[in-house]
Amino acid sequence: MFRILLALFIFLPLSSVFAASPSSTLRFSPLPMLSEHLVKEQFLSFCSSLSELTCQNVSLIYKKDYQDLLKALHNDELDLAYLGPLPYVMARKTDPDIIPVVRFLDKHQKATYTCSLVTFGHNHPNLDADYPTIALTQPYSTCGYLVTESLLSPYQHSLNDCPYTYVGDHEQAALAVIRGDAALAGVKTTIARRYENLGLTILDESAPLPGFLLVANRRTLDPATIDQLRSDLLSLNHAFSADQKEKPEWGKMIRYGMIEAHDEDYDAIRALLTRFPVPEILP
Amino acid sequence: MKRYLVSSFIFFLFLCGAILLIYSRCIQIQNDHLQQHLFTEQAAIRSSIHTYSLLAQAINDEVIQTEQVLKLVHDITNSHGKEQNILRGQLYRLLDPVYQRLRGKQVRQLHFHFPDSRSMLRFHAPSRSDDSLVAVRPSVVRANTDHEIVNGFESGRIFHGFRHVYPLSYQGEHIGSVEISTSFYQIRNEFKHLSEDGLNTLNNSNKSQLAFLLYRPEMWNKLFDDLHTFYQTTPLHPDYIIERADLISSLCSEKISESPLVDRVQQKLSHSSEVARKLKQHRSFAVAVNLRGTTYTVVFHSVQNTLKQHAAYIMSVTPEPFIATIRNDGILMGVLATVLLTVILLYRFRFLAADENEKRQALFLSNISDNLGTALYTTNHEGTITFTNTAMEVLLGYQQKEMLGRNAHELFHQPQDTDDHSPCICEEVLRTNTTIRSDAYYFVDRTGALFPVEVVCSPLRDHKQTIGTATIFQDISKRREQEEQLQQAQQELISANASLKNLASHDGLTGVYNRRSFDEQVERLWRSAARHKQPLALLMVDIDHFKRYNDLFGHLQGDECLRRVAQTLQKACKRPEDFVARYGGEEFAILLPLTGHDDSEHVAQRIQAQIGSLAIEHPGNEKNQRITLSIGCCTCLPDGGETVQDFIFAADQCLYRAKEEGRNTICCCRLQGDEQES
């Protein structure tokens, strides 16, 4: 009798706790642009906010590369993801249930960014008789093959003809040019400007491109939940620090605010992709 | 109970003292060892730093101090804008291969500065330049103002390390400075090599694991803001932070393995107020810590910056079996001391129990002795009193404390015959080693009064050795008095008995034996004579005409007459065995043992003669006018044929014949068989 009472004594409070807690877990994974530790640090607080907004537990899942992340989305192993423009377009192309939720603003409250074709000093591709060596970030990077190919076209160069290499990220691509390992590189304009102190020169800059976004998996989340999440996230803009206009505890890539994202925002990417298909990520 | 508590308290004090002593000794040995460890590691670290100082010097001499590099730096210094940027890029392009090789040689930073101490080119963060280092890098300022080489640790905007800053000049013009720095991690690696080679051989321990604790107040504000997230506060103290491994790996591709052991040790030491206190003091120190059953030496080496200010701690964690051994030895000694003291305490308890038992017994005996009613005292060999009971105090009038330690003989013994030279009873007992009982002693009480005592003095033995005497005595004054009274009563009783006996056997009037005594005596003498074949004579004496005498003189005079006759008869029978009795009235019987016929006749004649000499007037004796006696005498040698009645009858017949023959006459006969001879 005593054991039954003891079990009831323990079980009843616990059951009330479970009843009050979120009923399921949202699975969220960001694009692996940094080490696992830094990625988790950037997004941990964001996940907490998501959990508060949805009244559900949010699990932060780290995927080692872009393909793994897209595959997980496709296999319904993820409910939410933080994607770059090109990965989003690639994912959406094969899976229409991946829908955009919000786009993130940059430090200057812009929802777009540009890519640049860079060289060292006074070099000019047109002046180079040989095919220049070109440094690219990685296949799924918008500033990588896709935009670089589009920026090379005015100079009568194509990545189909020039030797190019993926060096991993924007910084390495810029340094490859400074070191002389490559004559040209396609990098994010903000990165290119950062290395101007070493003689890095921007030859050309792309049109504004939509930035990183949060996507939802419509197969695992009902539309009402997604709409509610979008609405809640956008309402957070007002809660951001008035003077800094940022949410300091969130990662640098996402702390400056959000706007509503639409699939058509990424039509420019789709157009580029149609014109300049990336060989490494062809379906 | 109080003594048990006191013993327990003393035990506790001793135990605490012993444990404190052991603990302090262990701590002292441990501290000495830690200090030695600290010195050894400091030497190793200095050696590591010096090694990289030499390497930096070599790099400066061989790589930097070249015409191409110096000219490029000169051009950068003297150019502006995009031109300067391109030249800077060229410098990067020129030296990056070298820098990449130096990275393999554990050099972390290669950093050029403008003469005004702005950053010219960081090879470890090439995109960051032109920022002023004046506020954060005193070593750079010194190199550019004093044009001297500066060596030492210094924090920075990105990295912190052991700096070697060399001023640069080209064709006599100061063109800035270059810094070749090594991070703590390179020092750590070098330190590890040294440890593996020699340090830990000395310490007989395993590899050390190190961590670099940066002093937050010294470096936090120097950091680029976006790098703050790469640091985390140590659990040890909020003033100390560490670089996260991903900072190192993300910014300079160094593979830094995090040490879970160091983290655990920091976690453990975070609860130590001693460590917190010493960290605040900014001095080098060492502590020992036990983690999951293993003891580690944790050394904190204070690192000073080029301004001689505390800037960081190098924390090393080394497994230390020696300290574990010291601690185990200390614990063992503590346990042994506890066991030993516990055994002593138990023995003490046993002793107390025995002592209490002894006291109880002593009290019991004391109660008995005090309630004995008999005085008791003991003396030692010298006769000094060692114990007295209450009864003795009562008897002698002294208090116990007055008697203890004093000589019994001198104090209250009184020799038997008041002879001062008589030996003391105690001395006698000690001399003879036997018990003496006597009631002939007298003791003297406090007032000087003498009283008789009954005393029993025995040797007091401890095992087989005599250690003194034990004496009990009691006042027998009353008993003695009672005895005297009793003795007197007995004497009186004896006297009364003798008188009664005399009355029973003697005639009250005359004082000679009476008829009952005669009857007994005649039987006895008769049997004796028969047994020994000896003659026996019987004289029957009658006072002649005594009735008339009474009539004439009255009975009082008659009685007087009888008394005088009896006395005369008694006198006449001179032998003790002769027996004179009043046979009845005025008739007497005389038994003469061993007396034959002639002798008995002779006695009869003597009696008559002595009576005659009395000349007692008797007018009624018409013939003689004086008292005369008629005597019948019979002698016999009993042989079994006759009886005592025959013998008496024969004597009586002789008396009758004497009276018949006119009185004042003696008639004798021999009784022999059936014959009677006259």
In chain B, the percentage of residues whose pLDDT exceeds 90 is 36
φ and ψ at B179, to 5 degrees? -120, 130
Hey, of B92, B230, B254, which one would you mutate to test binding to chain A, going by the most A CBs within 10 A of its CB? Answer: B92
User: What is the model's pLDDT at position B379?
Assistant: 92
Lowest average pLDDT, out of B104-108, B142-146, B538-542, goes to B104-108
The residue ranges of every structural domain in chain B are: 23-339, 374-481, 506-677
User: What's the average model confidence in pLDDT over B491-496?
Assistant: 90
The candidate with the shortest Cα–Cα distance to B666, out of B635, B644, B626, is: B635
Q: What type of residue is A23? A: S
User: What is the model's pLDDT at position B209?
Assistant: 81
Q: Cβ distance B507 to B513 under 8 Å?
A: yes
Please state, in angstroms and as integers, the Cα–Cα distance from residue A76 to each residue in A28, A101, A153, A219, B443, following that order: 11, 17, 39, 7, 125
Of A179, A195, A252, the CB nearest to B127: A195
Shortest Cα–Cα distance, A145 to chain B (Å): 24
Lowest average pLDDT, out of A79-88, B258-267, B428-437, goes to B258-267
Query: Each residue of A238-278: pLDDT tens digit?
Result: 666 555 556 777 888 888 888 999 999 999 999 999 989 88
Is the pLDDT score of A13 beyond 60?
no
Is the pLDDT score of A14 beyond 80?
no
Shortest Cα–Cα distance, B230 to chain A (Å): 9
Q: Cβ distance B241 to B214 under 8 Å?
A: yes
User: Which CATH code is given to the segment(s) B506-677?
Assistant: 3.30.70.270
- CB atoms A178 and B126 under 8 Å: yes
Q: Residue B127: list chain A partners with CB under 8 A.
A: 171, 174, 194-195, 197-198
Is the pLDDT score of B425 beyond 60?
yes
φ and ψ at B162, to 5 degrees? -90, 110
- CB atoms A175 and B126 under 8 Å: yes
Lowest average pLDDT, out of A265-274, B249-258, B423-432, B460-469, goes to B249-258
User: What's the average model confidence in pLDDT over B199-211?
Assistant: 58
Q: For the purposes of burial, counting CB atoms within 10 Å of the CB of B256, is it exposed (0-12), middle (13-18) or buried (19 or more)?
A: middle
Q: What type of residue is B183? A: S
Query: Each residue of B35-79: pLDDT tens digit?
Result: 888 888 888 888 878 888 888 899 999 999 999 999 999 999 999
Find the closest chain A residue to B122 by CA distance. A198
Is the pLDDT score of A178 beyond 90?
yes
Which domains can be identified in chain A, with CATH numbers?
19-110+210-281 (3.40.190.10), 115-206 (3.40.190.10)
Of A41, A180, A194, the CB nearest to B127: A194
The candidate with the shortest Cα–Cα distance to B227, out of B171, B284, B160, is: B160
Is the pLDDT score of B533 beyond 80?
yes
Find the closest chain B residue to A249 by CA distance. B229
Is the pLDDT score of B295 beyond 90?
no
User: What is the model's pLDDT at position A240?
Assistant: 62
**A139 versus A33: which is more confidently predicted?**
A139
**A243 versus A68: which is more confidently predicted?**
A68
Q: What type of residue is A121? A: G
The candidate with the shortest Cα–Cα distance to A251, out of A4, A25, A14, A33, is: A33
In chain A, the percentage of residues whose pLDDT exceeds 90 is 47
Query: Residue B101 corresponds to which tokens in the numbers above?
Result: 């090789």
According to DSSP, residue B25 is labeled H
- CB atoms A195 and B226 under 8 Å: no
Hey, of B93, B101, B251, which one would you mutate to test binding to chain A, going by the most A CBs within 10 A of its CB? Answer: B93
Alpha helices, DSSP H, located in B433-545: 477-505, 515-532
Please state, in angstroms and as integers, the Cα–Cα distance from residue A96 to each residue in A89, A100, A283, B641, following that order: 10, 10, 15, 181
- CB atoms B86 and A122 under 8 Å: yes
CA atoms in the 13 A half-sphere facing the CB of B638: 24
Residue A35 near chain B (CB below 8 Å) = yes
Any bridge partners for residue B211, and if so which? B315
Query: Each residue of B92-130: pLDDT tens digit?
Result: 999 999 898 888 777 778 999 999 999 999 998 898 899
Is the pLDDT score of A21 beyond 90?
no
Q: How far apart are CA A144 and CA A188, in angstroms?
A: 9
Q: How far apart are CA B313 and CA B283, in angstroms?
A: 9
- CB atoms B127 and A180 under 8 Å: no
Q: Residue B95: list chain A partners with CB under 8 A.
A: none
Q: Cβ distance B139 to B154 under 8 Å?
A: yes
List active site positions of B. 586
Q: What type of residue is A229? A: L
Do B23-339 and B506-677 agree at the fold level?
Answer: no
- CB atoms B129 and A175 under 8 Å: no
Query: Each residue of B353-372: pLDDT tens digit?
Result: 998 898 888 888 878 877 77
In chain B, the percentage of residues whose pLDDT exceeds 70 is 93
Complex prediction ipTM: 0.82
Of A122, A197, A252, the CB nearest to B130: A197
Q: What type of residue is A262? A: H
Q: How far apart are CA B62 and CA B72, in angstroms?
A: 16
Those residues with Cβ within 8 angstroms of residue B103's Cβ, 6 or more apart along the chain or in another chain: B252, B253, B254
Is the pLDDT score of B499 beyond 60?
yes
User: What's the average model confidence in pLDDT over A169-196?
Assistant: 92
Q: Rounded to an integer, what is the distance from CA B35 to the centroid of its chain?
A: 47
The candidate with the shortest Cα–Cα distance to A278, out of A160, A177, A154, is: A160
Q: Cβ distance B452 to B480 under 8 Å?
A: yes
Query: Residue B41 corresponds to which tokens in the numbers above?
Result: 């590691």
Query: Each residue of B389-420: pLDDT tens digit?
Result: 888 888 899 998 999 999 888 888 865 555 55
User: What is the model's pLDDT at position B673?
Assistant: 52
Find the closest chain B residue to A122 by CA distance. B86
Helices (H) and strands (E) in chain B, counts: 20, 23
Is the pLDDT score of A71 beyond 50?
yes
CATH ID of B23-339, from 3.30.450.20, 3.40.1190.20, 3.30.70.20, 3.40.50.11310: 3.30.450.20
Domain range B374-481, CATH class:
alpha beta
Lowest average pLDDT, out of A223-237, B183-197, B206-220, B502-516, goes to B183-197
The residue with tokens 């323990």 is A10
